[in-house]
Amino acid sequence: MAEKATKTGKELEHRVAHAYRTLSARTVEHDMELAGHQIDVYVELETPDHGRHRIAVEAKDYASTVGIEIATKFLVVVEHLRRERLIDEGVIVSAKGFSPQARSAARASCIRLLELADLEKNAIAHHLVEKYRESEDFLAGLLNNRLIASYLREAAFDGPDMEHLLTDNLGALLECAVHRIAERDRCHLSCEHGHIPSTEEFCCLLSYVGWYMFFENRTRCNATDAARVVKEVLTEIGREQDDVAQVLDWLAATYWFRKTRRGAFEFRDSYIANVFAAMQLKGWFSRGRGQEFLGLALTDDPDQWHRWQKVIVLLAGMLPQDHAIELIEVLLKEELVQLAGWCMYMVEGQSVPKPTVADVIYALLRQLVEVGRR
């Protein structure tokens, strides 16, 4: 059956254009005529060698998948425009995906098929990388890390929520990603194993393991220690009846955690272990134990402070306003001025009181003056 449009398609065209602008396109134009063909969206992207890559985009807002007829018809247009050297590539963006036949035809041609959700999620990931590119080295590394980028794409929403996501801070984004992926993994596991921990309980278990491994400065955990840590959490959340070995197997089936061939456990990436450690510390603040955590951090070996900085900066982005301010003020009191500045940068999605901002700026300026004198 032929595809039928459910809307005029203009809304989809605007969303496609917005996504390409977020991808730093040099030119984005609507309803452009090229060699007698009407193009929904015309895009020019900058290439690594500062050249231009020209794209003709066909946007299809159909109630069902786009079929081979549309793909074949657009291919004729793209081949003509390429012969005329007016474009370099053709792209079809569909709100509802593509039929297998259409995908097969595209693979053998010069057109690319994109689903709207994937285009928007890639745009979000690109925006975040650009936004934090000038950040401290470890933050830039986070955003350029393949796994973290995939977490952020998983966290992306369609529609109006995408705009809100773009203005949020990195710590909150990563926490959002963790919860969304935990929910997905839990749904897959529940189909096979019945009653398993809730999404919040999964996050609690992984956060505590992440904190344990961070505090002990480990990259992996042997089976005995992992079982002991998990048992502590199960007791705390009221699931003492659960089989510890089974729970560990469930955790090892999630996106982030895995069991090695020798029976040890590890996170798939050191960055995500830091994210889980920060989530555990957020729980401490919510239970009024924030000062206890800060006491541990501030008395730690100075040579290990780079480890704490990574987690504390992520933590600042996850904390609610009052706890984030508490963290910044303690760091200022301990004369950890640069770290306080990075924490303030991370909570940009929240409203930091002007006196706190002034204190951080004054402390940073004073530190610069002292360095200049030396």
Total domains, the chain = 2
Q: What are the structure tokens assigned to 73, written together?
A: 């018809």
Determine what percent of the chain is predicted with pLDDT higher than 70: 78
Q: Are residues 97 and 147 in the same domain?
A: no
Q: Are residues 81 and 139 in the same domain?
A: no
- Total Cβ atoms within 10 A of residue 28: 20
Q: Are residues 175 and 50 in the same domain?
A: no
Q: pLDDT band at residue 159, thresholds of 50, 70 and 90?
A: very low
**Which stretches of the chain are DSSP H helices?**
10-22, 68-83, 100-107, 116-131, 137-144, 146-155, 161-166, 170-193, 199-215, 223-236, 244-252, 270-286, 290-298, 305-318, 321-333, 337-346, 354-373
Q: Are residues 205 and 92 in the same domain?
A: no
Q: Are residues 63 and 94 in the same domain?
A: yes
Mean pLDDT to the nearest integer, 122-141: 55
Burial class (CB in 10 A: 0-12, 13-18, 19+), 34: middle
Q: What are the structure tokens assigned to 220, written together?
A: 């992996």
**DSSP labels for 143-189?**
HH-HHHHHHHHHH--STTHHHHHHTS-HHHHHHHHHHHHHHHHHHHH
Q: Are residues 105 and 176 in the same domain?
A: no
Does a structural domain hold residue 361?
no
Q: Which of 68-72, 96-100, 125-129, 241-245 has the lowest mean pLDDT?
A: 125-129
Q: Is the pLDDT of residue 134 over 60?
A: no
Final residue belonging to a domain, choices 76, 92, 120: 120
Q: Are residues 143 and 113 in the same domain?
A: no
Q: In which domain, by residue range, is 82 found?
A: 10-120
Q: Are residues 103 and 149 in the same domain?
A: no
pLDDT of 165 reads 41
Mean pLDDT to the nearest integer, 62-83: 91
Which residues, in sequence order, are CB contacts of 69 under 8 Å at separation 6+?
2, 3
Does a structural domain hold residue 345?
no
Final residue belonging to a domain, choices 219, 248, 271: 271
Q: Are residues 245 and 147 in the same domain?
A: yes
Mean pLDDT to the nearest integer, 208-220: 87
Distance of alpha carbon 269 from alpha carbon 368, whole angstroms: 36
Determine what percent of the chain is predicted with pLDDT higher than 90: 18
Q: Are residues 176 and 115 in the same domain?
A: no
The pTM (predicted TM-score) of the whole model is 0.57
Does a structural domain hold residue 16?
yes
pLDDT of 158 reads 36
Give me the CATH number covering residue 109: 3.40.1350.10
Nearest to 233 by CA among 299, 171, 283, 168: 283
Does a structural domain hold residue 292?
no
Does a structural domain hold residue 190?
yes
Q: Are residues 42 and 113 in the same domain?
A: yes
Does a structural domain hold residue 169?
yes
pLDDT of 49 reads 74
pLDDT of 291 reads 76
Final residue belonging to a domain, choices 69, 88, 120: 120
pLDDT of 130 reads 60
Q: Are residues 111 and 148 in the same domain?
A: no
Do residues 18 and 166 touch, judged by C-beta distance below 8 A?
no
Mean pLDDT to the nearest integer, 341-361: 73
